[in-house]
Structure 1
Amino acid sequence: MAYKIAVVGATGNVGREMLDILDERGFPAREVVPVASRRSQGVDVSFGDRTLTCQAIDHFDFSDVDICLMSAGGTVSKEWSPKIAAKGCVVIDNSSAWRYDADVPLIVPEVNADAITGFTRKNIIANPNCSTAQLVVALKPLHDAATIRRVVVSTYQSVSGAGKDGMDELFNQTRSVFVNDPITPEKFTKRIAFNVIPHIDVFMEDGYTKEEWKVLAETKKMLDPKIKVTCTAVRVPVFIGHSESVNIEFERPITAEEARDILREAPGVLVVDKHEDGGYVTPYESAGEDATYVSRIREDATIENGLNMWVVADNLRKGAALNAVQIAEVLVNRGLITPKKVAA
């Protein structure tokens, strides 16, 4: 069976990555259609060794599309996802628009694939926040083994999480430093070149940012509502790849060696943890890779049943595009959708 796939937001960083990953993984597609805003109508994008031309979302007919990978932002998704879903097309949305809706499953296939059956309520499935996706991939097998009570996470998030404008700003500011040009922040609140910014998304009343709240809320929804989570989200001058320093408190004892063994067998995880120079993974090495890498696993002597670890992944892939394609693969592999009949 082959499916018709639409990729909405196909000219963006994540949309282009979705097209690449659909091709790389040999997704059973009879047709892939890139869709974007009216101003991007006619723009060409790559799909394997082919070039596809973007259609405008305003005029595109989704009635014969089986799966829509949506990566056009929350405002567009709020308006268009229900319309597309009403056409009988399953929407897998990468924005935050539907993540906290009780009738929309929030899915990371390595973590809670069974929850995907709830998609029939609205025909929409939510992709988690990029920093949450890699975090829960690493936490799930450890939670199953020793039950997590509390997680303290500090994120070191690349500028690609802020889109192409964020990547351009880091590039342009870095160049300005070397030629001694003035720097005026535009996308970020402060200079990002050779700096770190402890602020991602808007501030909330309690002093946390929306990005930090997302990690808390999404981890609870996907993994366990009883887990206590606190987060500090930081933007760093890295183009691609999010990193996280994670401190975990468990209900039952677990050693660092036990954690390594568990994570080595976990789906989607690669452990690189040698106690030597370079015996760990950095975001630079994660770029273009599918795995969630775990390094620096060690016991925390300051709390009972505590571990520390370092978690790294490509935020454009596992944090967004790859996870969305994996969700589509679950729909297909479990026989949860069947292709619409092709019009004669």
Structure 2
Amino acid sequence: MKEFGYERVFDVPAAVALLDADPDARCLGGGTNLVDLMKTGVERPARLVDVRELPLGEIELTPDGGLRIGATVTNSDLAAHPDVRRRYPMLAQAVLAGASGQLRNMATVGGNLLQRTRCGYFTDLAKPCNKRTPGSGCPAIEGEHHNAAILGASAHCVAVHPSDMGVALAALDAVVTYETVDGPGELALAEFYAPVGETPHVETALPPGALITAVTLPPAPVAALSRYRKVRERASYAFAIGSVAAALDVRDGAVHEVRLAFGAVASRPWRAREAERVLTGGPATAEAFAAAADAELAAAETLPHNGYKVTLMRNLVVAVLTELAEEAAR
């Protein structure tokens, strides 16, 4: 492991000043992803800025009835919070599906958003990877790619984003707040992750030296009836091969409002807006749910060994929305 400096900070201005002064500095929250990547040599920061003591560990109601989640809130505290469980159950379920209790006790909300892909080529320094070394190539396209992206990928990268929490946040129209030396800023989660394109190493739209301070959830009454469903290759904690975050409001048998986001199918949490458009105002039936999934997945571009994800996601959408519709009818 490369030698690195270490600074523990206790206020946001101090953290931002350190990050701005050193382009090779990284924030250290729970370290559940960053430290692993440092051990393998994928990440080689010159300095770690320990942000765990920053006053960003609260979950608070906003004046408009939403929820503000501090960046250093642990995943365990997020999943257990009564307002999250009652008003945004898909988020609590996504966090619980993401990792073991030990990891949830350490991992933070801000760090979860910034975790990097678990693609084997990215984590293996002996292999080329455009995300790790721009211009070196993407061997996954011709190699092992059974869990590669089917939506929004490019010829430069087919890796998927690993976050479960991020999928629920995408469906909930979350907004990420950050701080820089020039002042505060915010990004809707839909704009937070950069498209793959020709620059897969550019993963977010955060400005240089930015510190994530909070994630805000707007009021979403539809989310009271919501669910997160994750498919993985083993029953114990593992990264998804496909997941769905869904919320549904059915009135008189028709879809009044719906939220859908997919996980493990793209380089970022994928908001299924075409499926939402197709569903809104139509019947809340399995046939309609399947047609909406097909509309969203029409843009899928598969490789020889990941085409199963199209069928998997279609079936997952139908199953989750059908369950929610039946629950709404009770």
Q: TM-score scaled by structure 1?
A: 0.26
Normalised by the length of structure 2, the TM-score is 0.27
